[in-house]
Amino acid sequence: MSETTVPVTTLASTSTSASISATSSLKTRGRGARISLGALQIVLGLFYAFASALPKLIAHPSAAEAFDKLGWGSTGMYLIGALELAGGLALLVPLLSSVAAVALGALMVGAFVVNVTVIHGPYVATPLILILPLALIAWARRNHTTELVRWMRRRA
């Protein structure tokens, strides 16, 4: 054998080991992404349940003042609080996570419009910032929406 030729068995074992390492790195990266996405869902779910919904549901003076300024009163405050609580809890349920992210995203669009047009407060950008991780969750968990639709069709 000359020095420039490589035995076929060496090439085959090299390509096999390269494909195995590439596959394992993809699995590792996919696992890390799933864990990060799950952690993001937990953080956002807890944020919506406690930091956003709870002040409205217990009629904290800051929340009551904001809703009085809007002219929505306590009914609007409790309704928005209940929607945020439901969405935050639904983010923690795998089958509902994508639908919850879309619903909370729509709620944040409304919050942004209200902040810009009526409240003019210092937290105008907060709903827009929250839309980004919600959109990521909705997109990454879109297969859960398909599963939910299939489940509902079977039940009907």
Tens digit of each residue's pLDDT (9 = 90 or more) over 69-118: 889 999 999 999 999 999 999 999 999 999 999 999 999 999 999 999 98
Residue 59 pLDDT greater than 70, yes or no: yes
Contact status, residue 59 vs residue 72, Cβ threshold 8 Å: no
* Per-residue pLDDT, 122: 83
Decide: 101 and 109 in contact? Cβ < 8 Å.
Answer: no
The answer, yes or no, to whether residue 40 has pLDDT greater than 60, is: yes
- For residue 57, the one-letter residue type is L
Residue 97, classified by CB atoms within 10 Å of its CB into exposed (0-12), middle (13-18) or buried (19+), is: buried
- The secondary structure of residue 93, as a DSSP letter, is S
Per-residue pLDDT for 151 more than 80?
yes
- Per DSSP, 124 falls in state T
5: left (phi over 0), alpha (psi -120 to 50) or beta: beta
CB-based contacts of 130, cutoff 8 Å, min separation 6: 44, 104, 108
Mean pLDDT computed over 48-54:
96
**Arithmetic mean of pLDDT, 25-35:** 74
Least confident among 64-68, 88-92, 135-139: 64-68
